[in-house]
Amino acid sequence: MPVDLRPSQALKLLHDFNYELVRDDDRDLSVRQITILLTVYLEPPPHTVRGLAAKLNVTKPVITRALDTMGRMEILQRRRDPADRRNVVVQRTVKGALYVERLGDLMVAKAKELPL
Amino acid sequence: MPVDLRPSQALKLLHDFNYELVRDDDRDLSVRQITILLTVYLEPPPHTVRGLAAKLNVTKPVITRALDTMGRMEILQRRRDPADRRNVVVQRTVKGALYVERLGDLMVAKAKELPL
DNA sequence: CTGGAATGATACGGCTCCGAAACGATTTTC
DNA sequence: GAAAATCGTTTCGGAGCCGTATCATTCCAG
């Protein structure tokens, strides 16, 4: 059962959701960072730097830097692949799972408030 | 009738939507810029720099710079308020309306594809 | 008319991010 | 084993955005 959403509702949902992010956080994650984060949390592992870069159509340093930033925030984690030590596997963290959960709950709440 | 959305659906919708933005555009608007844009297009005018800054809980230069950027993109427009020439009124443009419409359609399309 | 208040823009130093290129480490190929 | 390929990181110059403080313009009160 697909979720039925009219364009005006979609735009209001997008606005209300982003509005909360902007209002609450001093510093926001970028759209790229959010997409990387959600990819890791929603799609089946393993996630490598190269794989994420190819999937998102960005260069590898973009992924490396995003991992630096979100690693510092402790919402993502690097791990060397023991099987092939050239690879870096990107993993979830407890803090990151809570962060993502908060995003989902916020979106659900804003969807509930949408007019007819 | 509120839109019913489960957290897992919300997260997937958020991911798929952002994913398209990241993949398609070389340079993305920031979350702040998108919020400013949608505020102008969804809420009743007039919109001033000061008003937007207060509403979004950011400083005035943030709005000024966002208007510089999005003005260059021609998706928003500055106009001096003739009644009180200290004020700058932020207005919509044809190009901006198309841009916002595209955002809404993209979100609707991604919502339709959501599983059960 | 003059001093102060309000508004948006600008200057500044700092931080993050960008893509391209070069680099070190590791694995694979021959 | 030596050479080539792969992978992630780092470096580089450049660009955008950040908040604070300041500025020019405009309005308004007295």
Q: Is the dihedral of CA B40, B44, B47, B51 positive or negative?
A: negative
Distance from CA of B63 to the nearest CA of A (A): 13
d(CA B101, CA B95): 10
Neighbouring CB atoms inside 10 A of A48's CB total 17
Report the mean per-residue pLDDT for chain A. Answer: 93
CB-closest option in B5, B31, B111 to A31: B31
Confidence label for B2 from pLDDT (cuts 50, 70 and 90)? low
- pTM equals 0.92
Q: What is the pLDDT of residues B78-92, one digit of tens each?
A: 999 999 999 999 999
Report yes or no: B53 at the A interface, CB cutoff 8 Å: no
DSSP assignment string, B53-89: HHHHT--HHHHHHHHHHHHHTTSEEEEE-SSSTT-EE
Q: Count helices and strands (H / E) in chain B.
A: 5, 2
Tell me if A3 and B35 make a contact (CB, 8 A cut-off). no
Average pLDDT of span B1-28: 88
The answer to whether the beta carbon of residue B60 comes closer than 7 angstroms to any atom of strand D is yes
Q: What is the pLDDT of residues A31-58, one digit of tens each?
A: 999 999 999 999 999 999 999 999 999 9
